[in-house]
Amino acid sequence: MTAPMLEAHGVQVELGGTEILHGADLTLHEGELVAIVGPNGAGKSTLVRAVSGLLKPTAGTVRWSGRDLGSMRGRDLAKVRAFVPQRMPVPTGVTVREAVTIGRSAHLRPLSRLTRADRAGVEEAMDRAGVGRFAERTLTTLSGGELQRVQVAIGLAQEAPVLIADEPTSQLDLGATIGVATLLRELVDHGLTGLVVVHDLALAAAVADRVVVVAEGRTIAAGPPAEVLNAEQLAATWGVDARLSEQDGRTALHVAWLNRA
Amino acid sequence: MRKKSATLLLAALAVLALCLPAGAGAAEAPKRIVALTPFAANTLAKLNKVPVAIGETLGGNERFSPKLRNVRVLPLSHPNGPNLEQLAALDPDLVFSSKTWAKGNQAMEELGIDVVLHDPRSIAGALADTFKIGAIVGRRQYARGLVKSMRVQIAKARKGIAKRPKVMLILGVGRTPFTFLPNSWGGDIVAKAGGDLLTGGVTSNSGFERISDEVVVAENPDVIIAVPHANADDIPSLTDYLQDNPAWSSTNAARNGRIYVSVDNSLLQAGTDIARTIRKVRSAYLKN
Amino acid sequence: MARRTLVLAALLVALAAATIASLALGAVKVPLADTLDILFGSGGSASDRQIIEVLRLPRTVEALIVGAALGVAGAVLQGALGNPLASPDVIGVTGGAGFGAILVIIAFPGSIALLPASALFFGLLAATLVFLFAWTGRNRGGTTKVILAGIAMLSLFTAGTTGLLAAFPERAPSAIFFIAGGLTSSGWRELETVWPYFAVGFLFALALVRPLDRLALGDDVAASLGSKPQAIRLGAGVAAALLAAASAAIAGLLGFLGLVVPHVVRMAGGTSSHTFVIPASAIGGAALLAAGDTLARTLRAPIEMPVGPFMVLLGVPLFLWLLRRAI
């Protein structure tokens, strides 16, 4: 087993005077796609933002390839991980290519110009994310799914080995969700390491190599989806009578929607 | 005996008859007068008709006649001028005011107080208004004599003007001064004192205008007089500031060090010591 | 890309035209040939030389610098706060500078030479107070907090100014022209005092171009790329404060430029990219102020009118026309 890319232990985070995470753990190995699931308000986003360096933990350790997060400067982190938020603000008059170029700026010194390598990197990021065909369109003209892909492209332009996405599909329709999910899976299959927060349990099961369950500010389970997302876990954590099943390449969550027990 | 008492009675009646018109005339002249402008106040002092109250603007620099030393002072502020309640409490028959306090003047009229406005902006206007004030307060003869003697003194002050230097008279210092035009009080004083007022060919109803420094350079004044809103101890630093102004460095005034600062109100507001002001302007500034 | 280049070219042409007009035109007619001779040669009469070298040239340069400074200050603030109504007034600079100037004009008239310094000091003080309030407590540096703190500071200093004017009503007319805003022909004297603040402000703004583009994609993306969003906002505030305070120190309170010029160039160029908007705002602001000032001192020559109405006259129709097309 190779050394993990990310190792986080006992992470505690306080927001606005309230402790959101009471000691969560997370490990990420190269080449795997990990999905973080859990009920609302469990602290999934907080955990992922904390390990990404967007939030400062009040306790616990976070190490990226052995380096302590606290000792890493912004530019160092940008070379190690790319963070894709759920929804970014959409400035007017900015084209897809320009936005992805901004993603590339992590590689640029403050006043230096774009090199040919940089421009090539931008094209490649757009191709990998499948947004090359509308590179000249402005962001305001894109649909939800297209915009999410562009956000992934911006992240890819950083050329970091790890892509972290916070609920990338929560606001998309079924078709767009499938598009983004397929994209993420393909990227990981081609060598990227992925960490995604996912709302939809069936999606998590279908897409991820490993699933981490976060509830009430703690990690309570981690492992392959079939193992972790069993009926007992679903009942204990989500309070639902449900089970996952996979058949013919389709993953489904069977739920007793009406609680007649 | 009866003839003597009849004569006495007739004499008494005659005296009474003579007194009555005079008495009626005296009843017409206002008794309780309030003067809100220094011009009106000082004119009344000269006419020996001391008002019951005079106005003084907040932070103002007005000079008042020594005869007014013990007169009650009403502080004046925008927009009404005096505090109307204080004014009404004085129960005035007449208020001498100016256009500055237009809002207050209207309020006073509504209270039933007679208001007369004087805003002389020229020496001729000041002399005319001096007579008018005298006539209103029942000192017509006295006023006529006063104006005559003032004319004589002014003529004396204007005698023997040897030179007519070009003078720029500006209001305010720093940034964007306004030029006094001939139809302003200060402009008229300086012109009558022998100055050739620099105006750039501009006329304006208000008597002031902001003119370009380019015109100042082109017209090249011999003397520059600034009238800022400041105190006497500010004069040295203000003079230095004006002397150092690069814009005017090529003018005769700057090169000969003939830039002056005047902080009393003599050029800003109509006064009653006109001859003295002209003499001062001639000796201190125009040197003619 | 082509559209942006076109707009930049048009702005540069406008700048050149405004600069030439500002140097060639004035209350006194100086033939263009003589003007060129004075500027590049050594000819001309003493009076004309004084007019061109001491009056018009410094004034033109001041118009260009102040116009550029206010345009950039507005662009930088609008980008950093993500709010189209942001302008240097919002961070309290204008209110503070106005108070500082009127304090000198009215209460310490003998110290008139210190007017630029006082305006600068109080302008920066006001901005510092705004940042202090906005950056402490909860939700540090949040846009709403900055704007509200700015409004509070503006109200505070405006009240102070009004109080001064009321306490010394006789002296109020001297203060009016500072409040109205406008340039003066007083040689290089004032620029000599404040040029370092312009220099630092412009350098800061230049360094902020890329960071502001990142910020436009949201705090999270900016953080992902290694930037600190709050540091960018603070930096933008500092740059805008320096540029706006220095501008107020020598040109009074000019409000229109900082708010409208960035919007005009954004709409004309069709982009919010700061690599375009910031330089374009500088050029556009410089051209607008130089043109407005030229009109203000030539239309009713030799009377000098305040520059504000002329900038509005030139800028508002263009702004409205672009607005119609954009929306």
For C261-293, the pLDDT digits (tens) are 999 999 999 888 999 999 999 999 999 999 999
Q: Which residue of A has its CA nearest to C223?
A: A54
Q: How far apart are CA B60 and CA B78, in angstroms?
A: 13
Q: Do C113 and B241 touch (CB under 8 A)?
A: yes
Between the alpha carbon of residue A43 and those of residues A174, A203, A223, A227, C37, the distances in Å are 25, 19, 19, 22, 74
Predicted local distance difference test score (pLDDT) of residue B79:
78
Is the model's pLDDT at B77 over the cut of 90? no
Q: For chain B, say whether C27 makes contact (Cβ under 8 Å).
A: yes
Q: Which residue of B has its CA nearest to C164?
A: B59
Predicted local distance difference test score (pLDDT) of residue B249:
92
Q: What is the per-residue pLDDT across B82-103, written as a single tens digit (0 to 9) for each?
A: 898 999 899 999 999 998 888 8
Predicted local distance difference test score (pLDDT) of residue C88:
87
- The whole-number average pLDDT for the span A11-21 is 90
Q: For chain B, say whether C116 makes contact (Cβ under 8 Å).
A: no
Q: How far apart are CA C73 and CA B7, in angstroms?
A: 100
Residues of B numbered 163-182 whose beta carbons fall under 8 angstroms of chain C's beta carbons: which are they? Answer: 171-176, 178
For residue A85, give the nearest of C221, C225, C228 by CB distance: C221
One-letter amino acid at B27 equals: A
Q: Which two tokens stand for residue B198?
A: 């620099």
Q: Do C207 and A111 touch (CB under 8 A)?
A: yes
Coil/strand/helix, residue B151? helix
Q: How far apart are CA B197 and CA B189, in angstroms?
A: 10
Q: For chain C, say whether B230 makes contact (Cβ under 8 Å).
A: yes
More confident residue, A49 or A75: A49
Q: How confident is the model at residue B127 (pLDDT cuts 50, 70, 90)?
A: very high
A52-89 burial, b for 16+ CB within 10 Å, e for fewer? Answer: bbbbebeebebbbeeeebeebebeebbebbbbbbbbbe
Q: What is the per-residue pLDDT across A156-195, written as a single tens digit (0 to 9) for each?
A: 999 999 999 999 998 899 999 999 999 999 999 999 999 9
For residue B238, give the nearest of C46, C110, C168 by CB distance: C110
Predicted local distance difference test score (pLDDT) of residue B14:
65
For residue B58, give the nearest of C27, C46, C169 by CB distance: C169
Query: Which residue(s) pair with A253 in the sheet?
Result: A244
Q: How far apart are CA A65 and CA B111, in angstroms?
A: 89
pTM for this one? 0.88
- Å between B163 CA and nearest CA of chain C: 24
Asked which of A62-66, B230-234, B260-264, C133-137 is least confident by mean pLDDT, the reply is C133-137
Predicted local distance difference test score (pLDDT) of residue A228:
92
More confident residue, C256 or C327: C256
Q: How confident is the model at residue A110 (pLDDT cuts 50, 70, 90)?
A: low
- The whole-number average pLDDT for the span C243-262 is 92
Q: Which residue of C has its CA nearest to B81?
A: C169
Q: How confident is the model at residue B18 (pLDDT cuts 50, 70, 90)?
A: low
Tokens 């930037």 correspond to what residue? C227
Is the model's pLDDT at C131 over the cut of 90? no
Is the model's pLDDT at C110 over the cut of 90? no
Neighbouring chains to B with at least 3 Cβ pairs closer than 8 Å: C
Q: Which residue of C has its CA nearest to A166?
A: C220
More confident residue, C294 or B233: C294
Q: How confident is the model at residue C177 (pLDDT cuts 50, 70, 90)?
A: confident
* ipTM computed for the complex: 0.91
- Å between A249 CA and nearest CA of chain C: 34
Predicted local distance difference test score (pLDDT) of residue B60:
67
Mean per-residue pLDDT over chain B, rounded: 88
- Å between C323 CA and nearest CA of chain A: 14
Q: What is the per-residue pLDDT across A112-124, written as a single tens digit (0 to 9) for each?
A: 788 888 999 999 9
Q: What is the per-residue pLDDT across C39-96, written as a single tens digit (0 to 9) for each?
A: 888 878 888 889 999 999 999 999 999 999 999 999 999 999 888 888 888 888 989 9
Q: Which of A182, A183, A78 shows the shortest CA–CA distance to A126? A: A183
Predicted local distance difference test score (pLDDT) of residue C327:
56
Q: How confident is the model at residue A260 (pLDDT cuts 50, 70, 90)?
A: low
> Per this entry, what is the length of chain B?
288
Q: What is the per-residue pLDDT across B24-34, written as a single tens digit (0 to 9) for each?
A: 444 468 889 99
Q: Do C216 and A78 touch (CB under 8 A)?
A: no
Predicted local distance difference test score (pLDDT) of residue A168:
93
C12-44 burial, b for 16+ CB within 10 Å, e for fewer? Answer: eebbeebbebbbbbbbbebeeebbebbeeeeeb
Predicted local distance difference test score (pLDDT) of residue C1:
65
- The whole-number average pLDDT for the span C20-29 is 93
Q: How far apart are CA C157 and CA C107, in angstroms?
A: 15
- Å between B179 CA and nearest CA of chain C: 10
- The whole-number average pLDDT for the span C32-36 is 88
Predicted local distance difference test score (pLDDT) of residue B31:
87
